[in-house]
């Protein structure tokens, strides 16, 4: 096995290659040792999984590892959304949670995500300790773990289903009576953990809905379980061709990301949804606080924040940094361009279920389509157009990248560089308000190029200049 490395959302690998029972036990043992070092071992750990192959088996194996360390496991008895595991950690006052998920990655992947007692994704100092412990013991230490039955008999494993308590809490954060005004809603859990979460609040109130892809399929219908425009053509077709549907709501495999379709089936970029919800939560809900966005996320959010006179917190990519600010009660909303958000008073973790229902509430209360709401917002704060491209590097370009990015030009795309931000990658702020961001992948020879401008033509110039800078 290669070294264990935690990325922005945990350790991931390909099933039967790196991601094996033996290696998972090493990682979970490292988590157990980290918890014991913190002195929180008596609080127990919530363990869950998404709908991938062998998920529940990995959960059970992890529970045995924790039992061997004398740590109680609260074992989710069915696949469980990532935000629900976060909610359950906080509700129980647990030492943390272990979640087997590869989120929106293709079905051959799985992953281990650890959330400590504060409920959000573990910060680098915590994952770094887990990495060190795991990598020091790979292939050198053999542990003996109790059987599942013995661990249950000794009280170190307890089966739980947190769905009811999570949905009850959602009643305090979403106005479902307002959503009733909307009309028919289309739902798409993408064969993932939001089955029974997206539909139940509507079903129980006899709010009309149409749902697809709501059965268990570890292959995710042959597409990565990502609710982006490229991966939901069946959902787009459904909404586009049914005149009774007012809104399309989708979630990814572990329900921490959202995808929104307007009444005409058009896909609305997550950047714009976050900005719209920021405006709605302050203007209509009267929530107080700032907004956090990752360095790669639209400055439309900044324009809305300026309109309302609230601060903006720019973070590195990775929701853990936004979650930390939610815990400090500094935010109305925090979000990332990759379709993750949460709000004041909710879990410090991405929640695609919450996001979908917030959009439904907003559209129902405002009596306008998402596109109409966006055009109104543009009229108030200006237009912003965003895009992301992946630039593949040749071996020569990859070697030269570090030197190139450390000496950026004073002018690019025909405009002077006003400022450079390096909190995560290299972001160039241009004098005309447009910007570009270069982020090198940690796993492949790819540079992610993000750009934003006030119109499509200018954005095309910005992206072309960014590509030329990196690839020439």
Statement: residue 114 has pLDDT above 90: yes
Positive or negative, the CA dihedral 386, 392, 397, 400 is positive
Phi/psi region, residue 212 (left: phi>0; alpha: psi -120 to 50; beta: rest), is beta
Q: In this structure, what DSSP letter does residue 4 have? A: P
Final residue before a domain boundary, out of 134, 162, 190: 162
Q: What is the mean pLDDT of residues 170-181?
A: 97
Q: In this structure, what DSSP letter does residue 54 have? A: T
Q: Tell whether 228 and 312 lie within a shared domain.
A: yes
Closest C-alpha to 397, from 440, 437, 429: 440
Closest C-alpha to 103, from 116, 85, 124: 85
CATH number for the domain spanning 236: value is 3.40.120.10
Q: Tell whether 74 and 54 lie within a shared domain.
A: yes
Q: Tell whether 352 and 414 lie within a shared domain.
A: no
Q: pLDDT by residue (tens digit) across 45-68?
A: 999 999 999 999 999 999 999 999
- With residues binned 3-state (H G I as helix, E B as strand, rest as coil), the percentages for the chain, rounded to 5, are 40, 25, 35
Final residue before a domain boundary, out of 112, 127, 162: 162
Three-state DSSP at 249 gives strand
How much is the pLDDT for 154? 95
CATH number for the domain spanning 429: value is 3.30.310.50
Q: Tell whether 195 and 60 lie within a shared domain.
A: no
- How far apart CA 12 and CA 6 sit, in angstroms, is 8
224 located within any domain: yes
Which range of residues forms the domain containing residue 306? 171-381
Q: What are phi and psi of 45, to 5 degrees?
A: -135, 135
Q: pLDDT by residue (tens digit) across 312-356?
A: 999 999 999 999 999 999 999 999 999 999 999 999 999 999 999
6 located within any domain: no
- How far apart CA 15 and CA 100 sit, in angstroms, is 12
Q: Tell whether 440 and 311 lie within a shared domain.
A: no
Domain count of the chain? 3
Enter the pTM of the model: 0.95
Q: What are phi and psi of 130, to 5 degrees?
A: -65, -45
Element (DSSP H or E) covering residue 359: helix 352-366
Statement: residue 436 has pLDDT above 80: yes
Q: Tell whether 20 and 125 lie within a shared domain.
A: yes
- Average model confidence (pLDDT) across the chain: 95
Which residues are registered as beta bridge partners of 99?
48, 113
- Percent of the chain predicted with pLDDT > 90: 92
310 located within any domain: yes
Q: What is the mean pLDDT of residues 433-462?
A: 95
Q: What are phi and psi of 165, to 5 degrees?
A: -70, -35
Q: Tell whether 180 and 328 lie within a shared domain.
A: yes
Q: pLDDT by residue (tens digit) across 70-102?
A: 999 999 999 999 999 999 999 999 999 999 999
| Through-space distance between the first and last CA atoms of the chain, rounded to whole angstroms | 36
Statement: residue 1 has pLDDT above 90: no
């Amino acid at each position: 096995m290669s070294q264990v490395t935690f990325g922005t959302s945990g350790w991931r690998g390909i099933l039967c290659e790196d991601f094996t029972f033996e290696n998972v036990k090493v990682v979970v043992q490292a988590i157990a040792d980290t918890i014991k070092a913190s002195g929180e071992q008596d609080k127990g750990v919530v363990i869950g999984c998404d709908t991938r192959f062998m998920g529940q088996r990995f959960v059970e194996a992890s529970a045995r590892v924790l039992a061997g360390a004398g740590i109680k496991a609260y074992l989710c008895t069915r696949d469980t959304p990532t935000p629900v595991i976060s909610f359950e950690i906080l509700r129980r006052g647990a030492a943390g949670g272990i979640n087997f998920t590869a989120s929106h990655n293709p079905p051959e992947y799985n992953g281990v995500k650890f959330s400590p007692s504060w409920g959000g994704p573990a910060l680098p100092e915590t994952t770094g300790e887990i990495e060190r412990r795991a990598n020091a013991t790979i292939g050198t230490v053999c542990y003996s773990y109790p059987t599942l039955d013995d661990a249950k008999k000794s009280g170190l494993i307890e089966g739980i289903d947190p769905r009811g308590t999570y949905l009850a809490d959602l009643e305090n954060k979403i106005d479902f009576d307002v959503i009733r005004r909307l009309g028919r809603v289309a739902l798409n859990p993408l064969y993932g953990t939001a089955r029974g979460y997206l539909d139940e609040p509507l079903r129980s109130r006899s709010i009309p809905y149409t749902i697809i892809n709501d059965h268990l399929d570890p292959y995710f219908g042959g597409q990565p379980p990502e609710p982006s425009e490229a991966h939901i053509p069946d959902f787009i077709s459904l909404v586009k061709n049914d005149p009774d549907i007012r809104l399309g709501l989708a979630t990814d495999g572990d329900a921490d990301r959202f995808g929104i379709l307007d009444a005409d089936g058009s896909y609305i970029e997550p950047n714009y949804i976050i900005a719209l919800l920021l405006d709605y939560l302050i203007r209509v809900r009267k929530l107080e606080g700032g907004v956090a966005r990752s360095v790669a996320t639209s400055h439309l959010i900044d324009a809305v924040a300026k309109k309302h006179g609230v601060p903006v917190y720019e973070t590195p990519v990775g929701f853990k940094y936004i979650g930390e600010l939610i815990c400090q009660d500094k935010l109305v909303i925090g979000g990332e361009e990759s379709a993750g958000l949460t709000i004041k008073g909710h879990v410090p973790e991405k929640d695609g279920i919450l996001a979908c229902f917030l959009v439904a509430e907003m559209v129902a209360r405002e009596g306008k389509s998402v596109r109409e709401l966006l055009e109104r917002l543009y009229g108030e704060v200006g237009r912003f157009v965003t895009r992301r491209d992946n630039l593949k590097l040749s071996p020569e370009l990859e070697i030269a990248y570090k030197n190139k990015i450390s000496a950026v030009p004073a002018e690019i795309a025909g405009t002077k560089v006003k400022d450079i931000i390096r909190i995560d990658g290299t972001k160039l702020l241009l004098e005309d308000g447009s910007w570009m961001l270069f982020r090198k992948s940690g796993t492949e020879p790819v540079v992610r190029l993000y750009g934003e401008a006030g119109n499509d033509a200018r954005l095309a110039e910005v992206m072309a200049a960014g590509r030329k800078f990196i690839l020439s």
